[in-house]
Amino acid sequence: MSDPAELRGEQRDRWEAVGPGWEQRAPTVSAAGADVASWLVEAAALSPGGRVLEVAAGLGDVGLLAAGAVGAEGEVVITDGAEAMVEGAARRAELSGLTQVKVVRMEAEWLDAETASFDAVLSRWGYMLVVDPEAALREARRVLRPGGRIAIAAWRRIEENPWIAIFRSELEARGLTAAPAPDAPDPFRFGADGTIAELLHAAGFVGVGVEVIDLVWKFQGLDDWWEHTRSTSSTVGRAAAELSPAQHYQLREVLDQRYAPFLQSDGTLELPGSTWVASAEA
């Protein structure tokens, strides 16, 4: 593995770069991830007046949903390591008018929160992207009160997720991106059966339960899909920016062909994905 501090810096720069894209594409992400957000909030077994921490929150979908469950007398702290994400989440929180929501920048591995101060920690598609996930999960357990709950989501294997698998294989085959190093931050790092449960146990959690949720990414068509992918994935965004117009056209032609089987009769595109959802007790 490269130097962890250097890797953290690299990862942070990547997320800062795509923060505006995530804010622009928030409705697409919220729609695809809605069932996952509901599962996580339900698994946290929240009550009115509860305190919730959302980690690696991006635009804060899960925290905003949890705010309804804890009510105006509760508190939801939405956090992310990238300032650009925090700014976007703060704008959404303000628009929501939910006074129990606070948005702050926070590193998952070093939570700036008191020990045993939260009833629940929630994170959708965050922990597998942290440089040291076990350290981050230990931090989550530290800030949970005894008996507090964690609920997290992480993608299953890449084979179950053609929405990424197809473009990734094309970019790698062209040498535009490199395959991820083993155990480096990656969407599919927790993909193998049993990995999430092992990590939660290693961090000291008990009563671990893991389920699968299959979901669908919906786009207006292939151009909308490409726009989404380019603006939310720093890897694709960077690779695409380096292509000449001819190379760009050629890549799009191949990708369009490979994604064509997922086009619907009305021209919209529906790409399947599959994620683990897990919950446990501190």
Ligand X SMILES: C[S@@+](CC[C@H](N)C(=O)[O-])C[C@H]1O[C@@H](n2cnc3c(N)ncnc32)[C@H](O)[C@@H]1O
Binding site for ligand X (CB under 6 A): 11, 15, 29, 33, 56-59, 61, 80-82, 85, 107-109, 124-126, 129-130
Strand partners, 271: 217
Q: Which is nearer to ligand X, 74 or 81 (CB)?
A: 81
d(CA 184, CA 151): 22
Q: Which is nearer to ligand X, 9 or 147 (CB)?
A: 9
d(CA 26, CA 267): 22
Query: Residue 130 Cβ, how far from ligand X at the closest point, in Å?
Result: 4
Q: Which is nearer to ligand X, 147 or 277 (CB)?
A: 277
Q: Which is nearer to ligand X, 64 or 171 (CB)?
A: 64
Query: Residue 244 Cβ, how far from ligand X at the closest point, in Å?
Result: 29
DSSP 127: G
Which helix (H) or strand (E) covers residue 76, if one does? strand 75-80
Query: Residue 28 Cβ, how far from ligand X at the closest point, in Å?
Result: 10
Give the three-state DSSP class for 68: helix
Query: Residue 73 Cβ, how far from ligand X at the closest point, in Å?
Result: 25
Q: Which is nearer to ligand X, 9 or 207 (CB)?
A: 9
d(CA 51, CA 46): 9
Query: Residue 15 Cβ, how far from ligand X at the closest point, in Å?
Result: 3
Under a CB-based contact definition with an 8 Å cutoff, are residues 133 and 226 in contact?
Answer: no
Give the three-state DSSP class for 85: helix
Minimal CB distance to ligand X: which residue? 58
